[in-house]
C-alpha cells in the first residue's frame, strides 16, 4: 500500500504475454471477420476499457499485429487496419513465393515423420467443402497447412521473414477469393506439395508450393478496386 492507497499489482511477465496474445488474437479475428474493415482506427483507450487491461498490453498487441501486417501504426494517428495495396502485393508476391518454396524444400526431410499430420491437414481442407461455413473453415485449414509446412521446415529466421507477408484478410475478401473452384484448386495444389514432401522430392515440393503461392497472389491482384488501395 502506498501513501495514496492500494495499487493494482503489475501482471507477471507470463501473465502479461498471455494478455497480449489473447488481445492480439481477438483483434486479428475481428479483422478477419470483417468487424474491423480496412482503414478502421483502433482506439487505445476504448480497448483498455473494453478488455479491462493496460495501455501497455494494448500497445504491445498493436505492435505484434503491425509486425504481422494486420495493422499499420502512424505517428500521431495511432493504429488502423492495414489496407492492402496492389503495389504492396506486387512487391511481396515474388518474395513470399520464394520463401514459402524454400519452406517446402526444407520441410522435405521432416515430412515422413509428419505423414499423418500432413494427410490430416489435407482431409480437413476437403471436409471444408461440406462445412456449414466453407469459406471460414477452409481459410483456417489453409492457414494451418502453411503453418505446418513452416513448422516442419524448422527455420526461425524464415518463419520471421514470412510473418508480415501473409496478412489476415477480411471475411468479405475471403468470400470473393475462396469460391468453390478456388478452394478445390488450392486443395489440389496442396495435395501435390504433400505428395512431393512424402516422396522426399524437395525440388518438386518447392516448385509446387511456389506455383500455389503465385496463383494465390494473382487471385489477390485480380480483386476489384474496392478491396485494394
User: How does pLDDT run across 35-77, given as a tens digit for each residue?
Assistant: 888 888 999 999 999 999 999 999 999 999 988 878 889 887 8
How far is the C-alpha of 48 from the C-alpha of 55, rounded, in Å? Answer: 6
pLDDT at 105: 98
Domain borders along the chain are 13-81, 86-221
Percentage of the chain with pLDDT > 90? 58
**Least reliable range by pLDDT among 18-32, 45-59, 71-85:** 71-85
CATH number of 13-81: 1.10.10.10
Question: Contact, 134 vs 196, CB < 8 A?
Answer: no
Residue 225 pLDDT more than 80? no
Which pTM does this prediction carry? 0.76
Spell out the residues 6+ positions from residue 181 whose beta carbon is closer than 8 angstroms to its own.
Answer: none
pLDDT at 201: 98
Do domains 13-81 and 86-221 share one topology? The answer is no
The CATH number of domain 86-221 is 1.20.120.530: yes
Q: DSSP labels for 81-139?
A: EPPP-HHHHHHHHHHHHHHHHHHHHHHGGGTGGGHHHHHHHHHHHHHGGGSSSHHHHHH
pLDDT band at 229 (very low <50, low <70, confident <90, very high): low
Q: In what order do the strands lie in the sheet with 71-74?
A: 41-42, 78-81, 71-74
Amino acid at each position: 500500500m502506498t501513501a495514496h492507497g492500494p495499487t493494482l499489482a503489475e501482471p507477471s511477465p507470463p501473465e502479461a504475454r498471455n494478455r497480449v496474445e489473447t488481445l492480439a488474437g481477438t483483434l486479428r479475428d475481428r479483422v478477419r471477420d470483417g468487424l474491423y474493415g480496412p482503414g478502421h482506427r483502433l482506439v487505445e483507450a476504448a480497448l483498455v476499457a473494453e478488455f479491462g487491461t493496460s495501455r501497455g498490453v494494448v500497445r504491445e498487441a498493436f505492435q505484434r499485429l503491425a509486425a504481422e501486417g494486420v495493422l499499420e501504426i502512424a505517428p500521431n494517428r495511432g493504429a488502423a487496419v492495414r489496407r492492402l495495396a496492389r503495389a504492396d502485393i506486387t512487391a511481396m508476391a515474388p518474395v513470399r513465393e520464394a520463401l514459402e518454396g524454400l519452406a517446402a524444400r526444407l520441410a522435405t526431410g521432416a515430412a515422413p515423420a509428419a505423414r499423418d499430420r500432413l494427410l490430416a491437414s489435407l482431409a480437413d481442407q476437403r471436409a471444408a467443402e461440406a462445412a456449414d461455413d466453407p469459406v471460414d473453415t477452409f481459410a483456417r485449414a489453409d492457414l494451418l497447412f502453411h503453418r505446418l509446412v513452416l513448422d516442419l521446415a524448422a527455420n526461425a529466421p524464415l518463419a520471421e521473414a514470412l510473418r508480415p507477408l501473409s496478412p489476415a484478410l477480411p471475411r468479405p475478401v475471403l468470400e470473393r477469393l475462396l469460391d468453390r473452384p478456388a478452394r478445390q484448386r488450392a486443395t489440389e495444389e496442396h495435395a501435390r506439395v504433400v505428395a512431393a514432401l512424402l516422396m522426399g522430392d524437395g525440388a518438386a515440393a518447392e516448385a509446387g508450393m511456389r506455383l500455389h503461392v503465385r496463383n494465390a497472389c494473382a487471385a489477390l491482384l485480380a480483386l476489384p478496386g474496392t478491396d485494394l488501395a
